[in-house]
C-alpha cells in the first residue's frame, strides 16, 4: 500500500472517530489514534457475534449513523437537500428570528459572531440551546474561536497563536482543550478555530494567527489542537490549501500565488495532512488562487477539492470560507452571489458559509436548476448532503446521549 493510500485509510478512520466516538460520546466508542474505530462502511460484528444476536449483523455505531443519515436523505426533495447545505449568520441574541429563519429555509445551521454572544457563557448557552430541535438532527452552530485576535467568547482568555507558536506543542494542547470546553459550554458544536496555515513572514496577513512558522512546528501544533478538541467540539482546519504563501487578505481581495505544486507540498500541505490524520472532521476552503492548479480560487475549484479528497485522504465535511468575501474581492468574475453559490456546490463543497443573513430561496433555486440542467450531478449533491447529515446526526446524539443510535 502506498503512503497516500495509508493516509487515506487512516484519515477515514480518524474522521469517523471524531464524528462518532469523540463528539457523540456514545457508549462503546473511543476517540484517539489510528485504531480509534471502524470506518463508516464497516460492521462491528464478528460472525460469532452475529450468530449470538440472530440473523442480522450487529452494525457499528458509525454504520448506524450513516444508515440514519441515508434514510433522511431519501426523504428529502432536491431543494431541501440544497437548503441543508447552508450555514449563515443571523444577527442578534434573540433566538426567535434565528429559529424562524432555520424553520422557514431548512438551513443546516448558523455562524455565531460577536452580536450573537454579547453576554455570559451561560446566556450564550441558553441562546444556542433554543436553536436545537428534537427531530434527530442537530443544528450546526459554528463559531470562529481561535483565541487571541479572533475570539467571539469573552471568557476565552486562554493562550492563542501569538504565544503558542513559541511554546511546546503541549501548550497548544492545553489551550485548545480549555478553549474547546468553553465552546462546548456555550453550546457551539463546530469550531472554525484551527489555523493550519503557516508562514514565517511577520508581514503576512495570517502571521499573527498561525500556530507554527514552519511546516514541521505548525504540523505538530495543529495535530495537538485537533486532538485536544476531539470529544468536545468538531474541529475545522483552515484555510485550505494554505494562506501562508499567498500574499494579501482574502477578506477584501483575491490573493494569488504561482508557486509550484512541489513547493506547496513541502510548505503548506503538511499541517493540513497532520490535522486530517489527527481526526479533524471539517476543512475550510480559502478564497486563494494557486495558479499552478487552477485559475479559480480553491473554494470554487474542483481540482483542489479532488486533491483534498484523493491526495490527503480527507472524507469529512468541506466548508467554504465566507462566500460574501468573494463578492468583496473586487474581481468581476466573483461579483454575483448566485453564480458563486452554484460554483461552490459544483466544486465539491458540502457546506456553504455566509457571515450575513442571505435570501436563501433564490440561491437554492439556482443550484437546483444547475442540477436539473446537468451542470451539477445530483449524486454529487447527495454525497455532500450525506456527509452533512452524518455530522448533524452526531451532533444530535451528543446532545441526547441516551438516545438509541
Range of lowest pLDDT (2-11, 221-230, 302-311): 2-11
Q: In which band, very low, low, confident or very high, does the pLDDT at 405 lie, cut at 50, 70 and 90?
A: low
Task: Quote the cell numbers at residue 315.
Answer: 472524507
Contact 38, 15 (CB under 8 A): no
**How many other CB atoms sit within 10 Å of the CB of residue 380?**
15
Q: What's the mean pLDDT in 314-341?
A: 98
Q: What's the pLDDT at 249?
A: 84
The DSSP annotation for 341-391 comes to: HHHHHHHT-SBEEESS---HHHHHHHHHHHHHTTSS-HHHHHHHHHHHHHH
Q: Domain 84-399 belongs to what topology?
A: TIM Barrel (3.20.20)
pLDDT at residue 10 tops 70? no
Q: What is the pLDDT of residue 56?
A: 63
Quote the pLDDT of residue 43: 37
- Give me the pLDDT at residue 30, please: 31
331 contacts: CB under 8 Å, gap ≥ 6:
254
| pLDDT tens digits, one per residue of 40-84 | 333 334 444 444 445 567 889 899 999 999 999 999 999 999 999
Judge contact between 377 and 346, C-beta under 8 A: no
Q: Mean pLDDT in the chain?
A: 89
The pLDDT value recorded for residue 401 is 86
Contact 192, 142 (CB under 8 A): yes
Give the residue-averaged pLDDT of 108-131.
98
Model confidence, pTM: 0.87
Q: What are the DSSP calls for 308-327, one per residue?
A: IIIIS---SEEEESPTHHHH
Q: How far apart are CA 14 and CA 282, in angstroms?
A: 12
Amino acid at each position: 500500500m502506498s503512503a497516500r493510500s495509508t493516509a487515506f485509510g487512516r484519515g477515514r478512520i480518524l474522521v469517523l472517530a471524531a464524528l462518532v466516538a469523540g463528539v457523540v460520546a456514545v457508549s462503546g466508542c473511543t476517540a484517539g489514534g489510528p485504531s480509534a474505530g471502524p470506518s463508516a462502511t464497516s460492521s462491528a460484528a464478528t460472525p460469532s457475534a452475529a450468530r449470538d444476536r440472530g440473523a442480522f449483523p450487529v452494525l457499528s455505531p458509525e454504520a448506524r449513523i450513516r444508515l440514519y443519515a441515508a434514510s433522511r436523505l431519501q426523504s428529502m426533495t432536491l431543494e431541501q437537500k440544497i437548503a441543508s447545505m447552508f450555514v449563515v449568520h443571523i444577527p442578534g441574541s434573540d433566538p426567535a428570528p434565528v429559529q424562524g429563519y432555520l424553520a422557514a429555509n431548512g438551513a443546516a445551521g448558523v455562524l455565531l459572531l460577536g452580536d450573537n454572544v454579547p453576554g455570559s457563557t451561560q446566556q450564550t448557552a441558553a441562546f444556542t440551546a433554543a436553536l436545537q430541535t428534537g427531530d434527530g438532527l442537530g443544528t450546526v452552530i459554528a463559531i470562529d474561536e481561535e483565541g487571541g485576535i479572533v475570539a467571539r467568547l469573552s471568557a476565552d482568555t486562554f493562550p492563542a497563536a501569538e504565544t503558542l507558536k513559541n511554546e511546546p506543542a503541549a501548550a497548544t494542547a492545553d489551550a485548545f482543550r480549555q478553549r474547546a470546553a468553553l465552546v462546548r459550554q456555550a453550546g457551539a458544536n463546530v469550531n472554525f478555530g484551527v489555523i493550519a496555515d503557516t508562514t514565517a513572514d511577520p508581514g503576512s496577513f495570517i502571521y499573527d494567527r498561525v500556530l507554527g512558522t514552519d511546516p514541521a512546528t505548525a504540523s505538530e501544533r495543529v495535530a495537538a489542537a485537533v486532538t485536544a478538541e476531539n470529544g468536545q467540539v468538531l474541529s475545522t482546519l483552515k484555510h485550505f490549501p494554505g494562506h501562508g504563501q499567498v500574499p494579501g487578505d482574502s477578506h477584501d481581495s483575491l490573493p494569488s500565488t504561482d508557486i509550484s505544486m512541489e513547493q506547496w507540498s513541502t510548505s503548506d500541505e503538511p499541517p493540513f495532512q497532520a490535522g486530517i490524520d489527527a481526526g479533524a472532521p471539517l476543512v475550510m476552503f480559502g478564497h486563494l488562487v494557486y495558479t499552478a492548479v487552477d485559475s479559480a480560487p480553491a473554494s470554487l475549484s474542483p481540482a483542489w477539492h479532488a486533491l483534498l479528497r484523493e491526495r490527503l485522504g480527507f472524507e469529512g465535511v468541506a466548508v467554504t470560507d465566507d462566500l460574501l468575501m468573494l463578492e468583496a474581492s473586487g474581481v468581476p468574475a466573483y461579483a454575483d452571489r448566485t453564480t458563486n453559490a452554484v460554483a461552490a456546490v459544483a466544486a465539491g463543497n458540502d457546506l456553504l458559509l455566509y457571515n450575513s443573513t442571505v435570501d436563501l430561496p433564490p440561491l437554492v433555486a439556482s443550484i437546483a436548476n444547475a442540477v436539473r440542467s446537468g451542470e451539477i450531478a445530483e449524486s454529487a449533491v447527495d454525497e455532500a448532503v450525506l456527509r452533512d447529515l452524518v455530522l448533524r446526526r452526531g451532533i444530535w446524539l451528543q446532545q441526547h446521549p441516551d438516545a438509541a443510535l
